[in-house]
């Protein structure tokens, strides 16, 4: 109750002081049937209410993003649930250099992405940018409270980037995340061979990485992205990624992708003691533009595991009205053939946008296993009578070895607002 009163007080104060209020509200309903056994099932009607609200006063803003969910027909154990994804104060362009954020905010990186409760500072001057952050992990289900045992549940890090060299962007980063797993009890034999209970409690050091990026972009000619991640806990290369694309030849685009990766295992996990082996992945791709409306797509990839390998092939055609794709994988980890089709088109200057999606997949988990099929169908439409209001209605059908003739319905209302006070 105290937290709710505090939230209402902060919100009311920011609302009264705001010069501009903008954001989006959405309300959704999703109905489906879930089987508890072969002959027993329950019908669910999930309700989701989402609010993205920004209160602005000059270069200062309060930004929030929250979601409320429950079930109208059959209550789940966790119902109702309110998730706070974002709630932070942002001050921009301080002395034309700095931006500060305080509160629950997003963090975007390949190591420990998500949200955290804390502070971040971004300094930007000419071709140089420095970002630093520090805070605590967010409780499960994004509850509106601070996590317990902050000393074992925190993260910090930063990233420096520069574009001082023309056409290049160079970046160096550091991430340190600590997360204390729940302790658990196991049965063990003591020296006298008597069965006793032992509490297992792991340390909190989860991830510690140094990252580096070098990107090159010559517009209309070639773009190259490279990334390197080094795991300081395991003292080894975690990932190296290279992605290059060129459009130097008229109507053609060629792509080369390479990825070396060690499985990213939490250092404080019991699974860290196992040797999973690394993977080398390479993919070649080409696009050919037949006309302004049609483009042919093709890809071939190979993944080398410790003692095995697998391949994949992709073919498709992309048009102004949708796309058709075929995908085949074979080798280690099973075989798959999949065909998918999607089409959507806007009528009456954005008023009506119907869409249809269909896919069929045949797969085997290994060459000697039984073949299984999956069929999915999606039919929907978006109706936008006004710029600030839209409605989505979608029907979904799925058929596989577990869900036979599974039919689901989805409805969503979106309302955008932007008020100057």
**In the prediction, which pLDDT does 69 show?**
94
In a domain? residue 389: yes
In a domain? residue 8: no
In a domain? residue 247: no
Strands 252-261 and 195-200: unpaired
Domains contained in the chain, number: 1
Largest CA distance in the chain: 82
265 CB-side CA count, 13 A: 16
Residue 36 has pLDDT above 70, yes or no: no
pTM of the model: 0.84
Among the residue ranges 160-174, 184-198, 279-293, the one predicted with the least confidence is 184-198
**In the prediction, which pLDDT does 202 show?**
64
In a domain? residue 338: yes
Burial class for 205, CB neighbours closer than 10 Å (0-12, 13-18, 19+): middle
DSSP 335-383: EEEEEEEEEE--BTTTTEEEEEEEEEEEEESSTTSPPEEEEEEEEEEEE
Q: How many helices (H) and strands (E) does the chain have?
A: 1, 24
Residue 234 has pLDDT above 50, yes or no: yes
In a domain? residue 371: yes
| Averaged confidence pLDDT in the chain | 88
Q: Pick the more confident residue, 309 or 4.
A: 309
Are the C-beta atoms of 162 and 172 separated by less than 8 Å? no
In a domain? residue 142: no
In a domain? residue 211: no
Phi, psi dihedral angles at 184 (to 5 degrees): -140, 165
The predicted-structure confidence for 244-303, as pLDDT tens digits, reads as follows 999 989 999 999 999 999 887 766 666 655 666 789 999 999 999 999 899 999 999 999
Domain that holds residue 349: 334-421
**In the prediction, which pLDDT does 179 show?**
81
Q: Give the span between the Cα atoms of 287 and 299, in whole angstroms.
A: 9
Q: Give the span between the Cα atoms of 171 and 332, in whole angstroms.
A: 36
In a domain? residue 391: yes
């Amino acid at each position: 109750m105290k937290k709710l009163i505090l939230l209402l007080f902060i919100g009311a104060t920011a609302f009264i002081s705001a010069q501009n209020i903008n954001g989006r509200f959405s309300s959704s309903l999703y109905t489906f049937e879930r089987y508890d056994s072969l002959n027993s099932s329950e019908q669910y009607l999930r309700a989701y209410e989402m609010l993205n609200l920004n209160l602005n006063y000059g270069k200062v803003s309060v930004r929030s993003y929250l979601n409320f969910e429950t079930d109208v027909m059959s209550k789940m154990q966790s119902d109702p649930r309110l998730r706070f994804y974002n709630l932070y104060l942002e001050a921009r362009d301080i002395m034309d250099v700095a931006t500060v954020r305080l509160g629950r905010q997003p963090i975007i990186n390949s190591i420990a992405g998500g949200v955290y409760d804390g502070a971040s500072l971004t300094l930007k001057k000419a071709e140089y940018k420095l970002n630093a952050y520090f805070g605590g992990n967010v409780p499960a289900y994004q509850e509106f409270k601070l996590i317990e045992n902050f000393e074992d549940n925190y993260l910090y890090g930063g990233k420096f980037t520069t574009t001082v060299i023309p056409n290049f962007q160079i970046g160096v980063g550091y991430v340190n995340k600590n997360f204390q797993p729940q302790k658990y009890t196991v049965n063990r034999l003591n020296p006298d061979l008597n069965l006793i209970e032992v509490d297992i409690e792991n340390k909190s050091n989860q991830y510690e990485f140094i990252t580096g990026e070098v990107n090159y972009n010559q517009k209309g000619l070639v773009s190259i992205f490279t990334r390197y991640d080094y795991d300081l806990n395991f003292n080894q290369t975690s990932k190296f990624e290279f992605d290059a694309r060129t459009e130097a030849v008229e109507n053609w685009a060629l792509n080369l992708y390479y990825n070396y990766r060690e499985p990213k295992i939490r250092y404080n996990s019991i699974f860290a003691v196992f040797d999973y082996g690394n993977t080398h992945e390479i993919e070649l791709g080409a696009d050919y533009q037949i006309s302004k409306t049609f483009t042919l797509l093709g890809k071939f990839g190979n993944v080398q595991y410790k003692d095995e390998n697998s391949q994949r092939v992709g073919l498709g055609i992309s048009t102004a009205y949708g796309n058709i794709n075929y995908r085949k994988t074979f080798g280690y980890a099973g075989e798959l053939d999949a065909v998918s089709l999607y089409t959507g088109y806007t009528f009456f200057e954005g008023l009506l946008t119907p869409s249809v999606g269909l896919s069929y997949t045949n797969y085997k988990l290994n060459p000697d296993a039984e073949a299984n099929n999956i069929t999915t169908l999606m039919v929907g439409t978006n109706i936008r009578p006004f710029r600030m209001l839209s409605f989505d209605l979608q029907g979904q059908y799925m058929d596989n070895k577990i869900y036979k003739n599974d039919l689901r319905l989805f409805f969503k209302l979106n309302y955008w607002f932007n008020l100057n006070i």
